[in-house]
A and B are shown apart, each in its own frame.
Chain A
Amino acid sequence: MIAKLILRDKEYEVRPGMTLLDALKKSNIVPEAVIAIRDGEIITDDEILRSGDEIKLVAVISGG
């Protein structure tokens, strides 16, 4: 099993056992630009990703 990061309509498959921070960096997602939600709760980027996790990433940048 793998863990998934979901940002808007894109999915990134990552290896379970790594931290969210490492998973974001490996997926070329700037950690400062997203909030991560697992099972409806915001998580910090030191969280270890588990097999089968689906992490929803909320983009934080807005404006024009």
Chain B
Amino acid sequence: MKCRQCDQKASIHMRQHKLALCKEHYLEWIPEQTARFIKKYAMFTPDEKILVAVSGGKDSLALWDILARLGYQADGLYLGLGIDAGINYSHESQRLAQKFADENNLKLHVVDIEKEYGQSIPVLSEISHRGHGRPCAVCGLAKRHEMNRIARDFGYDVLATGHNLDDEAAVLFGNTLNWSSEYLLRQGPVLPGTEGLARKVKPLCRFYEREMTAYSIMRGIEYIYDECPFADGSQSIFYKEALNQLETARPGAKLIFYLNFLEAKKSGNLFVEKNVGKSQLHPCPKCGQPTSTPDFCSFCRMIEKAASAV
């Protein structure tokens, strides 16, 4: 397979875009597209200060790399969660986040939850009995709280996270299965800031997880490959796997699922009761059943057409 731009051997084929690119052009394409999404969704402007939530994983480090390359004022924030689980998970992810910052002369804020609040995330979870035996709910709560606190205390205009399209599609899938209308209406590339709450943006929300992995590998970014030990068997991973099955059979399915949702939300057609009754029904002059089509109903027109064709 050849690169669409230079005829060299392609390194990645993105079926949903019918686009294959070599390493060199892929490493140009990703930042270009990110810049396009930042503008399209009015995420931030070049004069705003950005705080990037950095976990040491592929997505957040790739995001930080891209924003720095695009010339944005982007500092990082690493939250030490105190997760060990026999693999030194937090320690290793902090090391990689710090390494990336040092190698690229970027500023990294580090907040250690245990030093700050007396307990690590797993212990806080146990003590507070939140999250049905998993620390994920407590972890999410602490992350949201601390990211906002640092953004506010240090005067950042916007908080950027590395959520990719698979993350977004998995959340959307879960919220759709549960018909969680409030969450659905809130989901999007930008969560506007309100009094005391920083604006949140997701510049990678239109890239597949596979694409961000490829970007990190091609760019030579060293990231933590091990999964968070508590993520094993999580619902979001289950949804991602299901969506990937769908994507393999129907390339572009994840992208369409997410983009059509954003479009429906933007146009105001999501959960609008008045739209349901919008079409005016009248009795079909022939059969008397309600129809929205002018004159005869579709069934009667079909029968009439068939009769005239004989």
Contacts and interface: CB of A to CB of B under 8 A. Distances in A.
Tell whether A pairs with B.
yes
Interface of A: 30-35, 37, 41-46, 58, 60-64
Contacts of B23: 41-42
Given A42-B218, A58-B217, 4 more contacts: A30-B244, A46-B1, A60-B213, A61-B166
Contact of A31 (B59, B234, B248): B248
Contacts of B245: 30
Contacts of A64: 136, 139, 227-228, 230-231, 234, 236-237
Interface residues of B, number: 37
A62 B11 contact: no
B270 interface: no
B250 to A, nearest CB: 11
Contacts of B57: 62
B210 interface: yes
Nearest to A33: B244
Contacts of A30: 241, 244-245, 248
B152 to A, nearest CB: 26
Given A30-B245, A30-B248, A42-B23, A61 B240 contact: yes
B170 interface: yes
A30 B217 CA distance: 20
Contacts of A58: 213, 217, 225
Interface in B65-83: none
Contacts of B241: 30, 33, 61
Contact of B248 (A32, A37, A60, A63): A32
Contacts of A61: 166, 209, 237, 240-241, 244
A27 B302 CA distance: 50
A44 B57 CA distance: 23
B214 A42 contact: yes
B167 interface: yes
B222 interface: no
B130 to A, nearest CB: 15
Contact of A32 (B214, B228, B244): B244
A60 B210 contact: yes
Interface string B206-243: 00111011100110000001011011001011001100
Given A32-B248, A35-B217, A44-B13, A62 B209 contact: yes
Contact of A44 (B12, B136, B166): B12
B59 A62 contact: yes
B63 interface: no
Contact of A63 (B218, B231, B244, B247): B231
B20 interface: yes
Contact of B13 (A33, A45, A62): A45
Interface string B40-64: 0000000000000000011100000
Given A42-B12, A42-B217, A64-B230, A35 B244 contact: no
